[in-house]
Chain A
Amino acid sequence: MTGMAIDAPDRLRGQELGADIEALVYTHYDAIFRLALSILADADEAEDAVQETFIAADRALAQYRGQSSLKTWLFAIAINQCRQMLRKRKRRQALTDAWQTARLLLPRPALPEETMTHTETAVLLRDAVAELKDKHRLPVILRYAHNMTAPEIAQILQISEGTVHSRLHYARRELKHKMETRD
């Protein structure tokens, strides 16, 4: 989606909103929504998270000094919003339920055997990711679902690059172990 192609109501343009936040919403809405959905696995909650992210960004925009890219900066805010939402949920059980729902929502068309095997593996892997602790799950999602680099992940999660590597390393081992024991 190209942000400016969306025809937002005229009354919003350049009146109540400053141009900056408007441009941010148009440009990054989809990316933030995908991030929130990949973490929360609930479309409604993801939309709420997106809204709260841009509200928080609007307030903090004056303090943005360009130390990271706008996308990274927004992702950091979005991650914090998602964390708050996860905390609001009854944590583990709710999260497991959400991921189970997400698993059911995965497309299961009639596919050739090879593709079927891949889909099953994907489901199992996503389940395994869902069972990781947040501190390991978030780097994995940012790395593999959003193709982010270690420095970007470090900025978003506000941890060191070394910690990102170590968490990814731990998470991969944990996931591999889980997959092997399920086989």
Chain B
Amino acid sequence: MAISHRQAKLYIDMALDNALSAAMQARLDEHLANCAGCRAYAQEWMQFDDKLSRSLAGLGDAPPAPPHKVAAVLTAVAVRRQRWRFWQPFQMSGRLVLNGVMLVALIFAVFWLLRPPETAVDSPTPVTSTITPAADTVTSLTSDYVVIHFAFTGSVEGLQLYHPACDGVAYIPQPETLASTTAGGKTNYCELITSNTLLLKPGEARQILLVYRNTQDDDVTLTFTPQSINEWERPFVQAICKQKDIQARQTCASYEVRGEGVWARYIDVKAPEAAPLGSSIVVQFNLNRQALPIKP
């Protein structure tokens, strides 16, 4: 069977390593007899191979080792063997101890992974802007925080809570800012508090922003009443009316919104120092909307 030029070159390369079988050698010889190009290729590589052999033949040549060097090796072997025999039992027992420790760790890990599930944790009660639950406001949670839920009662709908990340500058977001904030836009002055829940450490204070957009072209009075459920929580939750100037903070119970616009109110919230970790506090607000007579 004739071979191609490509195969012939492959065979030539294998021939350099004496890796050709008799049959392969015969096929190569046949090809070379009829192909001057491959013959030249073979000759070129055979010559280079020969040159390489002659050049590296003496590499590492050294006179026979003198007896003292051989003896030195034998001595070194004997010394190392002695040392090895001395330490071998310790190494073996050390290995046994290590294996034992690993086995115990493995058993422990298996038991830990297969342990029965712990008692299910009560999840925080979802709070909507409808009516708040009353007395049972402190719920035990396995959490590092005190969970503050905000709930709203009254006749106003469409309330939203924001983290006022406004660097201490009083800022009442404009409708377009609110829109962009809500949509996750770039003007992120005030971040929306989702699910009306805030996590605080005991004693930690936070300010939030309650926003109401009056989309109706009428004048209204908003009556705002913070209502803490438990008496001991009352000092920590207070509502402060705030206009555009931060200096003008004052507690207020009602506010007039005339026409279409945004009504916003900052609320200071502080988790009680004594509140146990994982407890849940519901802070309830009552917000009523009452139409004002149209001004002449």
Contacts and interface: CB of A to CB of B under 8 A. Distances in A.
Is A bound to B? yes
Contacts of A143: 17
Interface string B9-36: 0000110111100000000000000000
B52 A144 contact: yes
A8 B74 contact: yes
B80 A55 contact: yes
Nearest to B76: A51
A48 to B, nearest CB: 10
A94 interface: no
Given A34-B60, A55-B80, A169-B13, A25 B74 contact: yes
Contacts of A1: 64-65
A70 interface: no
Interface in B222-267: none
Interface string A150-168: 1000000000010011001
Given A1-B65, A30-B64, A165-B14, A8 B81 contact: no
B61 A144 contact: no
A6 B48 contact: no
A16 interface: yes
B60 A37 contact: yes
B216 interface: no
B130 to A, nearest CB: 73
B69 A47 contact: yes
Contacts of B53: 144
Contacts of A161: 19
A57 B260 CA distance: 93
B39 to A, nearest CB: 18
B77 A165 contact: no
Contact of A17 (B48, B49, B77, B84): B77
A21 B77 contact: yes
A125 B58 CA distance: 12
Interface in A4-57: 6-9, 12, 16-17, 21-22, 25-26, 29-30, 33-39, 43, 47, 50-51, 54-55
B95 interface: no
A79 B51 CA distance: 25
A122 interface: yes
B83 to A, nearest CB: 10
A125 B52 contact: yes
A144 B51 CA distance: 10
Contacts, number: 124
A144 B70 contact: no
A165 B62 contact: no
B55 A12 contact: no
Interface residues of B, number: 37
A25 B77 contact: yes
Interface in B32-79: 45, 48-49, 51-57, 59-62, 64-65, 67, 69-78
A141 B59 contact: yes
B82 interface: yes
Given A22-B74, A29-B65, A168 B56 contact: no
A89 interface: no
A6 B48 CA distance: 40
Contacts of A140: 52, 56
A121 B51 contact: yes
A55 B76 contact: yes
A129 B52 CA distance: 10
Contacts of A121: 51, 55
A126 interface: yes
Contacts of B75: 12
Nearest to A37: B60
12 contacts: A8-B74, A37-B62, A38-B56, A58-B81, A59-B84, A121-B51, A122-B55, A125-B52, A140-B56, A144-B59, A150-B19, A164-B17
Given A12-B71, A165-B14, 15 more contacts: A8-B67, A12-B74, A30-B65, A33-B65, A38-B56, A47-B69, A50-B73, A54-B73, A58-B77, A129-B56, A144-B57, A145-B60, A165-B17, A172-B13, A172-B49
Q: Which 6 A-B pairs have the closest CB atoms?
A: A38-B60, A1-B64, A16-B78, A122-B55, A144-B56, A145-B59
